[in-house]
Every structure is written in structure tokens, then in C-alpha cells.
Amino acid sequence: MSDKVRVGLIGCGNIGAGGHAPAYLSVSGVELVAACDILPGRAEAVARLTGATAYQDYREVLARPDVDAVDLCLPTDQHASVAIEALRAGKHVLCEKPIARTLAEADAMIAAAREAGRVLMVGHVRRFDHRYTAIREALRAGEVGRPVYLRRAERQWLPFPADVWYWRPEAGGGVILDIGVHIADLFRWYLEDEPISVYAVGRQVRRAAREANSFDHALMTFHFRNGAIGVAEASWAYQPNYGGALYAELDVVGTAGKVHYSDRDTNPLLIYDAEEGAILPRYFRFMSTTEYAFQAEIGHFVECVRTGRSPSISPEDARAALEMALAAQRSAETGKPVAFSLEEAP
């Protein structure tokens, strides 16, 4: 390997061009040398920004011996096939969330990484975002006691027309898979525990969702082994004029206090003590941007490639988040709670 990790970005759409590509310009020890998209204009735009070479066929990127790693920002149903091909070609893989569309695909990716002896890291970007890492540090420090109740909302107006893959359940899994994996991973990460059951309700609000027979609004209740409950709302159907195109909220209620985060409040994050009330000011720690989170995520991946360290988010963590989201999807489809394989539902 040269002194820099050389990466090929595959998929230069929304998150590839907007989130990952600019981050490569400010992370040290890495160079984006290839940018690939089946739509040549998209690859060329990233190439102009970063100095990478543009490609239309990802196999040409995999064939380059000087490419150490690939960064997959592809539609969800293509994660597994391209990741496995890349791992077999000896490349390390950073893959956008969800790890894959199905558990069988996730298992095949994990096995391929093990056989190839290469890093497989899934981009659960919340784990690299100041706001959410700060909350995790507060929880680990016992600032609110033992977390017993989590309430999370991620609401947005999916800005894509009906013919985009996001709306097709077989490609993206609908809102429960796409946003649900973020929430599932956050719950497991904060609670440091495994779920035992989920009950979910899904709705088809927008015309695109009804036409695709896909949920674009969902409510989910996860029960954890330690007795904690996580309640979540995930939506692609919140009109921008309902209060912003992206809207995230979080409460973590513990035995000795509460963490509250909202990206709409003036003080976006407050930590409450059960006796003292709100503790201020705290938010100077939480003024992170998504841009920073992508830099931190890519920086961590590069460090793992260079040192052989295992990523702080393991592929098994990403699989567990997928399993939770798929179980929620099954619950919403059947109208019944779904128990995880570990134990019986309560």
C-alpha cells in the first residue's frame, strides 16, 4: 500500500457526491482515486471535485491494483453483490447503511470479508456524529442513571419522485428499513443491550408509497432484554411546511434524569437531572455538522485499513440493526409483534 489509502467511490448520487466525496478532501492519509457511476455526469462531477478518475463500470475500479478500498454509496439492493465482488478482488469495503437488503446478503458479505481478510465497515454515520457520540458519552458516564426509555423521531419529506429506487420495497425496503436501521443501531448502541421483540405499525401516506405498496410512515416499539423500551417514529411523509425537511428528536429517559435532543430547539441538547432540572449550557459540544460526521466515519475506516484494527461498528452490529428493522417491517405487515430469535416476546 502506498503511504495513502487509495479509494474508489462507487455510486455518486445523493450521499456519494454530497456526503462522502467532499469528506475525502479533508481526511488525511487517504486519496479518492476513482469515482464511478452508471450515470457518467455524476462520476465526472465527483472527479472534477476530487481529482479522481471517472468510471461508468465499477469492475474497472475493482481491476485497478492500486485501489486499496472501495466506498459503496449504491442503492441498498446492490450493496451485497458489489461488496462481495470487491472483497474477493482484495479491496477493503466501506458500505453505506443498511448493510444489505436481506439478512442472507448480510451474512454473505460478512463471510466474504472474513475469507478475504479485509475490512468491512458499514457507514452508520450517527456513530460518528458529535451530537450522538456526546449523548453516548453522557449515558456511559451515568449522567442520567440507567436508560430505561428511548423515544426517537426521524421525520423527513423524501425528496425523490416515484420512479426512484427508494420507493420500491425490493430495492430499498421502504422507510422502516431505510431510516429504521439508523434508529435500531442508535437504540442498541445507547442501551448496550439486545432487543427481544418489536411491534410496528406502517402507513402508506404519499401517492408514491401507495403505488409502490411501501410504507412511508411507521411507528415502532422495541422491547429490550434489560426491560428498556425504545419507541420510534420514522417518516418520509412530513411535508417541509410541517416544520423543516429533516427533523430529528431524541429523548433518553434514565433512572436519574433525561437527555433531550432536538434539531429544532434553540438549545438543541439539554441534559436534565431528576433533582436539579436542566443543566446548561451544554450545546457547545453538540454543534457538529453532518459534514464532520462523514469525515470522522471515513477517517475511522482509513485508520482501520492502515492499522488492521476492527471498526468500532462491526459488520455484526450492522447486521443486528438490519435484523431489527426487518422484524419491524414484518410486524407492520402482519399487525403482530415479532419476537427476536434470542428469547420469547414478553
Ligand X SMILES: NC(=O)c1ccc[n+]([C@@H]2O[C@H](COP(=O)([O-])OP(=O)(O)OC[C@H]3O[C@@H](n4cnc5c(N)ncnc54)[C@H](O)[C@@H]3O)[C@@H](O)[C@H]2O)c1
- Hey, which residues are catalytic here? 97
- Contact predicate 121/109, CB 8 Å: no
Verify binding: residue 37, ligand X, rule CB under 6 A: yes
Nearer to ligand X, 11 or 315 (CB): 11
Burial string for 70-92 (b: 16+ CB within 10 Å, else e) reads bbbbbbbbbbbebbbbbbebebb
Q: Which stretch binds ligand X (CB under 6 A): 21-29, 34-42, 148-156, 208-216?
A: 34-42
The CB-of-315 to ligand X minimum distance in angstroms stands at 15
| Run of H or E including 308 | none
Written as nine digits, the cell of 275 is 433533582
Verify binding: residue 339, ligand X, rule CB under 6 A: no
Nearer to ligand X, 10 or 110 (CB): 10
Ranges of H-type helices in the chain? 14-15, 21-24, 40-50, 58-62, 79-88, 103-116, 130-140, 169-172, 174-178, 180-191, 207-212, 290-307, 315-334
Size of the site for ligand X (CB under 6 A): 23
Q: Which residue has the cell 434470542?
A: 342
Nearer to ligand X, 132 or 272 (CB): 132
Which of 9, 46, 76, 319 forms a contact with ligand X (CB under 6 A)? 76
Written as nine digits, the cell of 279 is 443543566
Verify binding: residue 178, ligand X, rule CB under 6 A: yes
Nearer to ligand X, 177 or 196 (CB): 177
Q: What are phi and psi of 38, to 5 degrees?
A: -65, -20
Which of 5, 8, 9, 11 forms a contact with ligand X (CB under 6 A)? 11
The DSSP code for 23 is H
Verify binding: residue 315, ligand X, rule CB under 6 A: no
CA 132-135-139 angle, to 5 degrees, is 140
Nearer to ligand X, 22 or 337 (CB): 22
Verify binding: residue 89, ligand X, rule CB under 6 A: no
Verify binding: residue 129, ligand X, rule CB under 6 A: no
Which of 31, 71, 96, 317 forms a contact with ligand X (CB under 6 A)? 96
Verify binding: residue 15, ligand X, rule CB under 6 A: yes
Which of 4, 13, 312, 337 forms a contact with ligand X (CB under 6 A)? 13
Verify binding: residue 113, ligand X, rule CB under 6 A: no
> Of 117, 122, 77, 104, nearest to 318 (Cα)?
122
Q: Name the residues that contact ligand X, by CB under 6 A.
A: 10-16, 36-39, 42, 58, 73-76, 78, 96-97, 123, 125, 178
